[in-house]
Structure 1
Amino acid sequence: MNKPLLAALSALALAGLGAAPAVAAPLTAAPAPHQVKSPAVTVNFAGTVSLSDCSGSIIRFAGSADSDPALVLTNGHCLETGFPDPGQVITGQSSSRTFGLLNASGSKIATLRANQVVYSTMTDTDVTIYRLTSTYAQIKSSYGINALTVSDTHPTAGTAIKVVSGYWKTTYSCNVDGFVYRLKEGDWTWKDSIRYTSSCNTIGGTSGSPVIDTTTGKVIAVNNTGNEDGQRCTVNNPCEVDAGGNITVRQGINYAEETYQIPACFTTGNKLDLGAAGCVLPKP
């Protein structure tokens, strides 16, 4: 994994299968002369946060209200109480974790606090979602910062993206190279992961960074891992597994977990409802 920094500095603690070709971005026809391509949005650090040893972002959904308690998205393996076990899903766990709120230039302008781990798992995906003690409106009024919106549609190969690390105050620019049927690292397995092109060379401490579509400005994934040493399916050395069980190792390539499934699991008031129609996140 692009493990928490503390794990990165210790003896390769945790942060995850022959070979199949990389999935190439599909070719698209050039737009007709009367069509205008949407310009890329400005992606900066506004709305991202730094954790004690990871990165994250303040997120909202299309149905979120300004009066709702704000949410923070990071990785499951960034959970302060330790990595969730395979098959484990944590909901409603008390938390007092703090987050450094960044402005557009990456300067810390406030400390925000959580009161709950709304959802956390490392099964099928690698996410933790915190509930803050502040609403979106309060954060906007006090600091001028808007939350990032999570896209509710599956990302597309070839999409230009930026991985924005609040911990390192660093932005990585690349494209979605393709999608991985199963990504296996140690005891954990993730489904339908995003593979970056090589220029997103993320490191320890970037775990939990939002992956932002530069055309829409929306969050399409959360950064979580990369193969560091070329090992096969070990901690910090995830391998790709295709539908036929063939294993591919790509040393130096990094990955993220899609987030389009998350909005369907939240209802009015930013409340988690794992029984909601269309919600496919793993359940306890």
Structure 2
Amino acid sequence: MKKPLTGALCALALAAPAALVAAAPAAAAPAPAPAAVAVNFAGTVALSNCSGSLVRMPNSVDSDPGLILTNGHCLETGMPAAGQVITNQTSTRGFTLLNASGGSLGTVKANRVLYSTMTDTDVTLYRLSSSYATIKSRYGISALTLDTAHPVAGSSIKVVSGYWKKIYSCSVDGFAYRLKEGSWTWKDSVRYTSGCDIIGGTSGSPVVDATTGKVVAVNNTINEDSQTCTVNNPCEVDQNGTVTIRPGLGYAQETYTIPNCFAPGNVLDLTRAGCVLPRP
């Protein structure tokens, strides 16, 4: 596991002597495609063994404590077992905050692991001791926003690794109904097209939509050795139980459901309506 009518308008008129036939209105020009945003390292972080990002929920406010998003398998106390969910665990972990070009700005520190699991998804969320406002004032960095919409097949994405200070560019190839790796199983995983050939240390990188600039997933694994369902060699399992391996293709875990699990103030609440994250 790693630490993507033109239509024509036809008009029919019946001619009559001395009749005036009105010209059909011109078809409206198609709307231009949205311009891509500049995706860089601002707001990403480097961990001791992984990558991550400073993130906010759509309803977060500047006075809220900052949040760091990374993988469950990047947890400093070791990878959660299948079926294990960790919440509200004390932490003093530090993260190197990066600027747009990948330069180090300083260290932000966690005071708690709010949530960590490798069941259904592969995610850890840390709460920082500093607010977004404090981080912005001290470092000039704003948090990345978690999208609340499901990723779209074919959309352009960037996998931004703070550990390696490298940005991978590819598209969403599709989605794996179930992704199995070792003893863990993840649901509705994002599959990359070629180009996002991630390596160790990229685990936990934010997957950023290249059009909106929002985080749509968290990078977590790739099939390295063409093996089937082993560690570092995830396999896809469809609704009928058919197993498929895709050597050399990487995957990420969707994040659009995470905001449903946070109350105002960046308070984790797994009982909120719409929250589908596994509970302890």
Higher CA-based Rg: 2
Query: Which residue of the partner structure matches residue 239 of structure 1?
Result: 235
1:26-105 counterparts in 2 under 5 A?
Answer: 29=5, 33-105=29-101
Query: Which residue of the partner structure matches residue 174 of structure 2?
Result: 178
Inter-partner Cα distance in structure 2 for 1:30 and 1:148: 35
Inter-partner Cα distance in structure 2 for 1:78 and 1:249: 24
Offset of 1:210 from its aligned partner?
0.1
Query: Structure 2 counterpart of 1:86, which letter?
Result: A
1:58-80 CA-to-partner distances (Å, cap 9, x unmatched) read 00011101000000000000000
Query: Structure 2 counterpart of 1:104, which letter?
Result: A
- The 3-state SS of whatever aligns with 1:234 is coil
Offset of 1:248 from its aligned partner?
0.4
CA RMSD of aligned residues (A): 1.0
Query: Which residue of the partner structure matches residue 205 of structure 1?
Result: 201
Q: Pick from 132, 137, 156: which aligns with 1:141?
A: 137
TM superposition score normalised by structure 1: 0.90
Inter-partner Cα distance in structure 1 for 2:83 and 2:250: 23
- After the TM superposition, list the runs of 4 or more consecutive aligned residues in structure 1 that deviate by more than 6 angstroms: none
Query: Structure 2 counterpart of 1:129, which letter?
Result: L
1:153 pairs with 2:155: no
- The 3-state SS of whatever aligns with 2:158 is strand
Offset of 1:112 from its aligned partner?
0.6
1:254-265 counterparts in 2 under 5 A?
Answer: 254-265=250-261
- The 3-state SS of whatever aligns with 1:190 is strand
Inter-partner Cα distance in structure 1 for 2:31 and 2:186: 38
Offset of 1:35 from its aligned partner?
1.2
Inter-partner Cα distance in structure 2 for 1:150 and 1:30: 33
Inter-partner Cα distance in structure 2 for 1:63 and 1:272: 13
1:163 pairs with 2:159: yes
Query: Structure 1 counterpart of 2:133, which letter?
Result: A
Query: Structure 1 counterpart of 2:86, which letter?
Result: I
Query: Which residue of the partner structure matches residue 278 of structure 1?
Result: 274
Query: Which residue of the partner structure matches residue 108 of structure 2?
Result: 112
1:73-101 CA-to-partner distances (Å, cap 9, x unmatched) read 00000000000011110000000000000
1:25-47 CA-to-partner distances (Å, cap 9, x unmatched) read 6xxx4596251221000000000
Query: Which residue of the partner structure matches residue 2 of structure 1?
Result: 2
- The 3-state SS of whatever aligns with 2:133 is helix
Inter-partner Cα distance in structure 1 for 2:62 and 2:6: 39
**Matched residue pairs, number?**
260
- The 3-state SS of whatever aligns with 2:275 is coil
Inter-partner Cα distance in structure 1 for 2:100 and 2:190: 26
Percent identity (aligned): 68
Structure 1 unaligned regions, length at least 5: 4-24
Inter-partner Cα distance in structure 2 for 1:218 and 1:93: 27
- The 3-state SS of whatever aligns with 1:177 is strand
Query: Which residue of the partner structure matches residue 21 of structure 1?
Result: none
1:189-245 CA-to-partner distances (Å, cap 9, x unmatched) read 000000000110000000000000010000000000000000000000000000000
How has the CA–CA distance of structure 1 residues 179 and 30 changed in structure 2, closer, same or farther, with 3 Å as cutoff?
farther
- The 3-state SS of whatever aligns with 1:257 is strand
